[in-house]
Every structure is written in structure tokens, then in C-alpha cells.
């Protein structure tokens, strides 16, 4: 898989398939990696359908490990939706793509919303799978950051670096924090992390927490921003404490051109999820032919 340097950070990505472009924001919080779209590494619908292989028969898929995830690098700085959107737009620019369908699952749906707010002209349509939101989602983010920050205060950044290869990522082992993954993969990044001033580092953690887990609305965009999104959107609701039905209902209520798939898990499968995605795609093809 190729790497691209975007905003000074090495990003692991791939471009695969044929047809209209599909920019893919993987699920999993800080496990947002290409393999989450595959039969081997995916879960639920996208694991069942072998998402990347299947979708690449209908779209030119652009998938990547988000910064601080998987094989992508990172940089210690306050993380926020602006940085994530800049990274995603950089991948589109690299591929020479002016407009794409946007698919986001879990926290990836949050990034899709943030992307639609900041780069509306680059969005052909939004596919929002299992959007996250609500009090328990916000609480999870705050709790994971608290555990990491407490670990750093008690043990220092050297302990984070020592633990990182065993913890794999922030979402599986909160103590390693949001920069644990690149510290485990890249020795030069680990050395930079070890030299960080602890108070500066903890401030970056607090600001990242407050930017990404800022309220109980569907994550990624404010209510006011959602009401301004004039992009057709298909919402495919989850049904658990993080991928809440209430988050999907709020998106349907606030986004003017959205539709909500009425099926919820466990009735959703790889097959019928694929059918919904392709039905959404065909609406654009029909409109183009009519024009």
C-alpha cells in the first residue's frame, strides 16, 4: 500500500476499484484503519460483505488509516475535526478527485459530517453508517482520555512508549493514549514523544478530548451545522449505547436532504446494507441520465 505525506504526516492509503469515487472513513474510533473494511478485520455489515473488495466493484474506493491509527504516523498537537478533514481532503486532492461519495461508519460517520460542513463541494452524497452520539458516547471519550492522562501523570511518557506495542491502540488500551499507535510503529516518533513536556502533552490531550467529545449531539457537527448541510444523505442507524438510535434520529430531523433506513441491527446484514448503498448510488446515476 502506498503512503502519502499530508500536513507533514505519513498516511497509509489505497485507491482501488472502478466507478465513481468513494472516500471511506473507517469505523473504530482510534482503530480507524483500512482493514476494518475487510472480511478479515471488519465487523457486522462490512465484515460480512467484505466491504472493500465488494464496494470496489461499484466505486473507486479511497481508504486509509486515519492519522494516529494503524500504519499512519502522527504528531502531538490538539486533535480536532479540522485536522481530520484536512487530511481527508488531501487524499482527494492526491487522487485528483473534485467530488466523491463519502462513506463513514461509527466515528467515521462523525468525520463524514465534519467533512460535509467544511468541504461541501467535494461531497456528492453522504453514507452515514452507525453514527455515534449521545451522553454515553461522550462519556466513553472523556473516560478514555482521563485514564490515559492519569497514567501519564503517574508513570510518565516513557511508560506510554513501553506499553504502546502491547496495547495496539487507544480504543483497545486507553492508557496508551491517542498517540500510542504511531509510537509503537515508528521509533523516531517514539523518541519525539519521549521528549515532550508533560504539561504541554496533557494540555494537548485535554484540548483533543474537548474538541472531539464536546457534547451529546451526533458527533462531528453541531445542530446548527447539520441544518445547513444540503447534501443528500443516507443514514443507517446502529442500535447500541454508542451507535445510538437517537443520534440517527437527530440527524434525520436536522439534515434537510437525509433519509433514514428503517431497519436496525440485527436486521441489517452485509447483503441488505450493500443494497441500500447501491440504491443510493443509483439515484445519482438516474438523475445524471435524465439530465
Same domain (yes/no): 177, 247:
no
* Same domain for 108 and 233: yes
Final residue of a domain: which of 212, 229, 247?
A: 212
Judgement on whether residues 124 and 151 belong to the same structural domain of the protein = no
pLDDT by 10s per residue, the chain, length 291: 799 999 999 999 999 999 999 999 999 999 999 999 999 999 999 999 999 999 999 999 999 999 999 999 999 999 999 999 999 999 999 999 999 999 999 999 999 999 999 999 999 999 999 999 999 999 999 999 999 999 999 999 999 999 999 988 999 999 999 999 999 999 999 999 999 999 999 999 999 999 999 999 999 999 999 999 999 999 999 999 999 999 999 999 999 999 999 999 999 999 999 999 999 999 988 766 655
Q: Are residues 226 and 151 in the same domain?
A: no
Choose among 91, 26, 18, 102: nearest CA to 54: 18
Verify that 21 and 40 share a domain, yes or no: yes
Q: Are residues 85 and 221 in the same domain?
A: yes
Residue the block writes with cell 441489517: 268
Do 229 and 125 share a structural domain?
Answer: yes
Rounded CA gap, 237 and 268, in Å?
9
The DSSP call for residue 180 is: H
Query: Which stretches within 119-244 are classed as H helix?
Result: 135-155, 157-167, 180-185, 187-194, 198-212, 223-227
Residue 265, CB half-sphere, CA atoms under 13 Å: how many? 17
* Shared-domain flag, residues 27 and 116: yes
In terms of DSSP H, where are the helices of the chain?
Answer: 44-49, 51-55, 81-95, 107-118, 135-155, 157-167, 180-185, 187-194, 198-212, 223-227, 245-254, 270-290
Whose CA is closest to 169, among 107, 127, 216, 114?
A: 107
- 8 A C-beta contact, residue 25 and residue 65: no
- Are 26 and 73 within one domain? yes
Determine the 3-state secondary structure of 20 from DSSP.
Answer: coil
State which residues form the domain around 90.
3-133+217-290
Give the domain-ending residue among 182, 212, 242. Answer: 212
CA distance 67 to 87: 8
Pick from 174, 193, 212: which residue ends a domain?
A: 212
Rounded Cα distance, 83 and 136, in Å? 24
Same structural domain, 121 and 246: yes
Number of separate domains in the chain = 2
If asked whether residues 193 and 237 sit together in one domain, one would say no
Tell whether 222 and 81 lie within a shared domain.
yes
pLDDT digits (tens, 9 = 90+) for 198-220: 999 999 999 999 999 999 999 99
φ/ψ bin of 200: left (φ > 0), alpha (ψ from -120 to 50), beta (otherwise): alpha
Answering whether pTM is above 0.85, one says yes
**Which CATH number characterizes residue 74's domain?**
3.40.50.1820
Amino acid at each position: 500500500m502506498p503512503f502519502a505525506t499530508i500536513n507533514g504526516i505519513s498516511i497509509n492509503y489505497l485507491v482501488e476499484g472502478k466507478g465513481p469515487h468513494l472516500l471511506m472513513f473507517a469505523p473504530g474510533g482510534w482503530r480507524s484503519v483500512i482493514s476494518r473494511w475487510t472480511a478479515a478485520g471488519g465487523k457486522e455489515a462490512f465484515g460480512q460483505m467484505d466491504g472493500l473488495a465488494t464496494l470496489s466493484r461499484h466505486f473507486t474506493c479511497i481508504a486509509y488509516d486515519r492519522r494516529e491509527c494503524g500504519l499512519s504516523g502522527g504528531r502531538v498537537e490538539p486533535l480536532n475535526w479540522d485536522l481530520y478533514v484536512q487530511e481527508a481532503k488531501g487524499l482527494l486532492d492526491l487522487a485528483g478527485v473534485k467530488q466523491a461519495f463519502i462513506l463513514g461508519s461509527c466515528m467515521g460517520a462523525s468525520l463524514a459530517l465534519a467533512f460535509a460542513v467544511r468541504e461541501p463541494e467535494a461531497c456528492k452524497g453522504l453514507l452515514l453508517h452507525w453514527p455515534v452520539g449521545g451522553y454515553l458516547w461522550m462519556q466513553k471519550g472523556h473516560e478514555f482520555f482521563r485514564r490515559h492522562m492519569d497514567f501519564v501523570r503517574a508513570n510518565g511518557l516513557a511508560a506510554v512508549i513501553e506499553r504502546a506495542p502491547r496495547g495496539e491502540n487507544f480504543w483497545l488500551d486507553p492508557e496508551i493514549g491517542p498517540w500510542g499507535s504511531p509510537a509503537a510503529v515508528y521509533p523516531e516518533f517514539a523518541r519525539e514523544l519521549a521528549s515532550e513536556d508533560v504539561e504541554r502533552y496533557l494540555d494537548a490531550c485535554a484540548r483533543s478530548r474537548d474538541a472531539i467529545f464536546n457534547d451529546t449531539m451526533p458527533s462531528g457537527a453541531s445542530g446548527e451545522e447539520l441544518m445547513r448541510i444540503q447534501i443528500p444523505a443516507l443514514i443507517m442507524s446502529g442500535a447500541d449505547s454508542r451507535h445510538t438510535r437517537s443520534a440517527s434520529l437527530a440527524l434525520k430531523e436536522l439534515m434537510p436532504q437525509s433519509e433514514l433506513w428503517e431497519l436496525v441491527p440485527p436486521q441489517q446484514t452485509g447483503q441488505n446494507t450493500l443494497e441500500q448503498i447501491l440504491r443510493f448510488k443509483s439515484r445519482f446515476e438516474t438523475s445524471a441520465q435524465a439530465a
